[in-house]
Amino acid sequence: MSTDTSSHHGGSVRFIYDVGPRIRIQCLHKATRPLTPVRGVEFFQGTLDSTDEIESARVFDTTLRDGEQSPGTSFSYDDKREIAAVLDEMGTHVIEAGFPVNSEAEFEAVRDIASSTSTTTCGLARVVDDDIEAALDSGVEMVHTFVSTSDVQIEDSMHATREDVVQRAVDSVERITEAGATCMFSPMDATRTDEAFLIDVIEAVSEAGTDWINIPDTCGVATPNRFRVMIEKVCAHTDARVDVHTHDDFGLATANALSGIEAGADQAQVSVNSIGERAGNAAYEEFVMAVESVYQCDTGIDTTRIMELSEIVEEKSSIETPGNKPVVGDNAFSHESGIHAAGVIENSDTFEPGVMTPEMVGATRRLVMGKHTGTHSVRERLEERGYVPTDDEVRTVTRRVKDYGAEKRRITVEDLERFAKEAGVERQREEVQI
Ligand code: MN
């Protein structure tokens, strides 16, 4: 009888489900392994055998700034401290803590995060003196200053001219760099900006000494290929490091962020659970795991705390995480259909990505029984757990499972055991414990 706890590819497995009479694995301790596990790429054949598109990718988290701009979300001082602490401990490269000029409370929260975290903290500022002074006074290492560059925003949001925009951008970059802070400049609404003007702005702020240029797809209209071309062009016109900020209006935020990295950007702005303005930003968890698992590129981030981080942000933001959300949704590592569940019991790589396991993100794999479960499957599940049910008992338990599933309730192993006990099913033998 095997009590092997290794999967076919060397990663540890942690089922909450009993995986059959041969093996019973129950809540193993966290396996000792490198900070960012990389599973062998030789696992793949075909489309995924190339992994040299990117060399590195840095993560700029804007959960506390753009994320907080989600309609209905307001983080308290303590919420911000707690989220920032986890982001910091995980190794996030930059934390955008807020907009210091906004209010005294915001200023204090940003100042507190800047002094209590070891990573780079960033504060947002318009190209306005008061904003920039507030950001500098808050003690952040990086000031992120932004101005609209699209004609629609220059005219109908700022009520200014292109000339004003360039002048204020240059003045702001100069003030920030003179003060000794790292400067990030954003031409807001870059993806709807006249290209020649955008390049003029980029060249002007580069000459003024900005350290970073962030290209925001403020209204979410980019596509992966168009964004790639755009970022390549931006990189060709500046010596500053390039960062991208993408929005999910068409569900393309993470794809666009990755496209930006492929095109030469060093860093992407993301938010946990993809919260943010309108449909939100590129998701922290999607971006990090795609870089780690699909691109096989080490971010240095402790991915095993992703679920914990996601749950904290879910609670504090009051934005419920949908079950089908990539990486962090309840269904992300759940299996119900017979073929999938059977495959996963044998080897989780059959119907999961293989390069991303629940253990890597601190989640748990679940095998779910539901409305469509049949007597065959129920008998199998019961026998796997050492029960010897009669035909009548199998029918009784199956009826309970179906009723439960029809009420849109999730049936856990514990539920199944309870149904079996209530139906008086006999158990044949003791389980093998590890
Ligand atoms: Mn935004």
**Per-position DSSP letters for 298-349, written without gaps between them:** -----GGGHHHHHHHHHHHHT-PPPTT-TTTSTTTTEE-SHHHHHHHHH-GG
**How many Å apart are CA 308 and CA 312, to the nearest integer?**
6
Using the mean position of ligand 1's atoms as its centre, give its distance from the Cα of residue 389 in Å: 57
Joined together, the tokens standing for residue 399 give 């009826």
pLDDT on residue 429: 60
Compute, in angstroms, the gap from residue 270 CA to the centroid of ligand 1.
9
Distance 57 CA to ligand 1 centre (A): 19
Three-class secondary structure of residue 37 per DSSP: coil
Query: How many angstroms separate the alpha carbon of residue 216 from the centre of ligand 1?
Result: 7
Residue 334 pairs with which residues in a beta bridge? 366
Does residue 402 contact residue 371 with C-beta atoms inside 8 Å? Answer: yes
Q: How far away, in angstroms, is 245 Cα from ligand 1 center?
A: 7
CA of 260 to the centre of ligand 1 (A): 16
pLDDT digits (tens, 9 = 90+) for 279-302: 999 999 999 999 999 998 999 999
Q: What is the dihedral sign for C-alpha 242, 248, 251, 254?
A: positive
- In angstroms, what is the span from residue 247 Cα to ligand 1's centroid? 6
Using the mean position of ligand 1's atoms as its centre, give its distance from the Cα of residue 208 in Å.
24
**What integer is the mean pLDDT of 205-233?**
98
Q: Bridge-partner residues for 12, per DSSP?
A: 6
| Ramachandran quadrant class, 10 (left: phi over 0; alpha: psi -120 to 50; beta: rest) | left
234-282 pLDDT tens trace: 999 999 999 999 999 999 999 999 999 999 999 999 999 999 999 999 9
Q: Where residue 46 falls among pLDDT bands split at 50, 70, 90?
A: low
> How far away, in angstroms, is 112 Cα from ligand 1 center?
23
What's the 219 CA to ligand 1 centre distance in angstroms?
8
pLDDT band at 28 (very low <50, low <70, confident <90, very high): very low
Q: How far is the CA of 70 from the centre of ligand 1 (A)?
A: 10
Between 8 and 326, the higher pLDDT residue? 326
pLDDT value of position 318: 96
Gap between the Cα atoms of 32 and 354, Å rounded? 19
Q: How far is the CA of 188 from the centre of ligand 1 (A)?
A: 9
How much distance in Å is there from the Cα of 278 to the middle of ligand 1? 9
Specify the amino acid at residue 344: V
Sorting pLDDT into bands at 50, 70 and 90, what band is 342? confident
* pLDDT tens column, 382-410: 998 899 999 999 999 999 998 998 887 87
- CA-to-CA distance for 105 and 184, rounded, in angstroms? 24
Q: What is the pLDDT of residue 5?
A: 37
Alpha-carbon distance of 55 to 389, in angstroms, equals 56
CA of 331 to the centre of ligand 1 (A): 28
Average pLDDT over residues 415-424: 93
The DSSP call for residue 72 is T
Strand pairing report for 182-188 and 142-148: parallel
Nearest of 345, 434, 426, 427 to residue 386 by alpha carbon: 427
Q: Six-digit token pair at 212?
A: 């970073």
